[in-house]
Structure 1
Amino acid sequence: MNVKKSVTRYARTAGALLGATLLTLGLSTDAYAATGQLQWTGSQGVEWTRTNPTSGVCGTFRDTVATYVRNHTDQRVLLYRQFGCSGNYYDLCQSCSTDQTTTYYSYRLYS
C-alpha cells in the first residue's frame, strides 16, 4: 500500500470517528428555556402563548405576526420588525408589554 492511500484511509477513519462523536455527544449551545410565558396578539386578533420559550434562539410568532406582545418571562426579549431576528428591534423588559401600533415578525429572549 502506498503512502497516499494510507493517509487517505486514515483521514476518512478520523473524519468518521469525529462525526460519530459529535452525533453521540451533540453540539453544545447556549440555549435554554426561560421561565414564564410570552404572550402575543396575532394580526387576526387571535391570542397566542408560548410557555417557557427557548432563550438565545430566534423565534417566530407561529403562523402570524405580533401586534401586541406581553413578556411574562424571567428574561428580556428583543422584538424584531423583520423575520430572522434582523433589522430594527425593540427591547422589551420583564413584565412589560408593547403598544398595539407596531408589527413584530420574530423575537429572541436573553438574560
Structure 2
Amino acid sequence: MSAPSRADAREDGARHTPPDSSPYTGLARRMAGKQMLPFVLHPTATSAQCTFREHDGDEFVLVLRGRVELRFPDRTEVLGTGDSAYFLGGQPHHFRSVDEGPAELLAVIAGTPG
C-alpha cells in the first residue's frame, strides 16, 4: 500500500474556465494512476453555460457553498450547502447556481473517468 498523497488546491490546481461549461479547479492532478477524478466546480447562474454533460464512471458531489440546481433530462434537484448527490455519470446532467452569490461543489468522478 502506498503512502497517502496530499491534495491541496492552492498548490495543485489552477481555476479553468471552459467556454461551454462551469469553471472548475482540479485537485490531486499530480497523483499518478488515480481511480478518482476530484475537482471543485464553480457553477454559474447563467443557463447558457449549463450544457448537459455525460461521462463514464459514477459521480459524487457535495455542495460546499451556496445553492445549486442539479438538472437531469427528466428532473431537477436543488441542493444547498452540505447536501450531496450520487449518480451515474452516463446520465446527462448539469449544474447551475441558483443564488446571487458564488456556489462551490466538491465533485468526484470515480471508475473510468473519460
TM-score by length of 1: 0.39
Asked which structure has the greater RCO (Cα within 8 Å, sep 6+), the reply is 2
Write 1 or 2 for the structure with the bigger share of helix.
1
TM-score by length of 2: 0.39
